[in-house]
Amino acid sequence: MTSIARAARTPAELAIVVPCYNEEAVLAETCARLLALRERLVAAHKISPRSTVVFVDDGSRDQTWDMIDGWAREGGPVMGVKLSANCGHQSALLAGLTAARGDAAVTIDADLQDDEAAIESMVDAFHEGAEVVYGVRARRDADTWFKRSSARAFYRLMAGLGVRTVHDHADYRLLSRRAIGHLHRFKEVNLFLRGVVPLLGLRSVVVRYDRRSRFAGESKYPILKMLEFALNGITSFSIAPLRAITATGFLVAFGCILAAAWALTAKFGGDALPGWASTTLPIYFLGGIQLVCAGVIGEYVGKTYMEVKQRPRFLIEEISGRDVAAPAEPARHRASSPGQAMPAARSMGVRPAVHRPHTPRGFGATRAAKGRAA
């Protein structure tokens, strides 16, 4: 869609998707800020009054879902999606995009570290014709030295391995309906959206913002989880580690040939000295190399194992909110019309939920939906 066509049509219907996991400490502030931003954008005629904020509960153990469900039942522009179990941040994002409606969707974390005011610039870029708008951190002063340094090292490593990523971009982005439709065609279970989205190949722009400190609560990405996330990104998008194993094998074999030549020369020259070091050190060295190589190969075998099982990436237990309808299977070979829901559950590995209305609980007139994915 061109910028002229978008400017001529009515304001875009926007969905703001917020994945949540044990976020009760910050969620009330997050909801207030996003709803205030929504009202400003609606008043400025940049987005439609039907635009919503979609909270996705990723199997929280605290009061996160109770808070989301209460807001959704009030009949306001809040929609709640409850996953049946903790499926992970990337799957929660995808679940929110599956259930949301609209011409475009913005994904943002619940911790308020990403400046929500940048959404207005993203919407402006969308009206100018961009299909993907990346939120890129201009400053990261709020992060620790270790977090900044490890992030730089990770992006450089990914670039060195030939993986296309956007430097200092996490999962704060705007996707058009067409971009979301293309995203649903990527079926891998081992999700790494920071690598998948650049592969869409659609027109993209960057919006920069300053990263803030977390408003409340604690980070859901401790160091071990960060390392796991980085390893998943590397092994999902690059076979360079496997090629490194091949190169290492050739180097070790060449070194063994040189060592054998030296041993023969020493033996026939009469300079050979008896000792265990010349025997045990090569064994330990080669044993260590073999274990490392087996571990890297095992990581790729494990990824293949997870993919071939074709298990669903998430299961939606309940959807609550105003004007909620069950996600419908998208048409695969035709473009979506402006009034259609975004591509949905079955394309993501789950069947559409069957929704039944809830009995209001004193929050005002509502329409909610509940279902369990088979």
Looking at the domain assignment, is residue 229 inside a domain? no
Q: pLDDT grade, residue 345 (50/70/90)?
A: very low
Over residues 107-126, the mean pLDDT reads 93
pLDDT (tens digit, 9 = 90+) per residue, 275-326? Answer: 555 676 677 677 777 777 887 887 777 777 767 777 788 888 889 886 655 4
Tokens 């995203």 sit at which residue? 183
Lowest model confidence (mean pLDDT) among 52-66, 159-173, 217-231: 217-231
Domain assignment present for 232:
no
| 237 vs 349, higher pLDDT | 237
pLDDT band at 358 (very low <50, low <70, confident <90, very high): very low
Residue 226: inside a domain: no
Rounded percentage of the chain residues whose pLDDT exceeds 70: 68
> What's the pLDDT score for residue 44?
93
CA atoms within 13 A on the CB side of 284: 6
Instruction: Identify whether residues 32 and 103 lie together within a single domain.
Output: yes
Comparing 3-17, 129-143, 263-277, 352-366, the range with the smallest average pLDDT is: 352-366
Of 285, 309, 333, which residue is a domain's last?
309
| Number of domains composing the chain | 2
Both ends of the chain: CA-CA distance in Å?
A: 36
Closest to 313 measured CA to CA, from 108, 54, 92: 92
**Is 249 part of any domain?**
yes
Residue 323 confidence (pLDDT): 61
Residues 252 and 184 in one domain: no
Residue 280 domain-assigned? yes
Task: Based on the fold, state whether residues 161 and 61 are members of the same structural domain.
Answer: yes
Q: Which domain holds residue 53?
A: 3-219+312-370
Cβ–Cβ under 8 Å, residues 193 and 171: yes
Contacts of residue 301, defined as CB under 8 A and 6 or more positions apart, other chains included, come to none
Return the pLDDT at 215: 57
- Region 345-372: mean pLDDT is 38
Q: Which whole number is the average pLDDT over 226-245?
A: 70
Of 309, 329, 347, the residue that ends a domain is: 309
**Which is more confident, 354 or 275?**
275
- Whether 286 is covered by a domain: the verdict is yes
Q: Answer yes or no: do 119 and 196 share one domain.
A: yes
303/356 same-domain check? no
pLDDT band at 349 (very low <50, low <70, confident <90, very high): very low
Residues 215 and 273 placed together within one structural domain of the fold: no
Structure-token match 């201009």, residue found: 138
135, 210 in Cβ contact below 8 A? no
Judgement on whether residues 122 and 169 belong to the same structural domain of the protein: yes
- pLDDT given at position 72: 92
Instruction: Tell me, yes or no, whether 150 and 267 share the same domain.
Output: no
Of 292, 309, 326, which residue constitutes the final position of a domain? 309
Q: Taking the alpha carbons of 140, 142, 145, 146 in that order, is the dihedral positive or negative? A: negative
| CATH code assigned at 30 | 3.90.550.10
DSSP 8-state code for residue 356 = -
Structure pTM?
Answer: 0.67
Q: Has residue 222 got a pLDDT over 80? A: no
Judge whether 235 lies within some domain: no
Distance of CA 124 to the CA centre of its chain: 23
Considering the domain architecture, whether residues 246 and 337 belong to the same structural domain is answered as no
Residues 274 and 365 in one domain: no
Residues 273 and 191 in one domain: no
Residue range 181-216, pLDDT digits in tens: 999 888 887 788 888 899 898 999 999 998 877 655
Least Cα distance to 342 among 127, 134, 116, 183 occurs for 183
Determine, yes or no, domain membership for 225.
no
pLDDT band at 70 (very low <50, low <70, confident <90, very high): very high
pLDDT at 65: 94
The three-state DSSP-derived secondary structure of 287-335 is HHHHHHHHHHHHHHHHHHHHHHHCCCCCCEEEEEECCCCCCCCCCCCCC
pLDDT at 352: 39
Q: Any idea which of 39-48, 290-299, 313-322, 340-349 has the lowest mean pLDDT?
A: 340-349
Q: Please indicate, yes or no, whether residues 157 and 252 belong to a single structural domain of this protein.
A: no
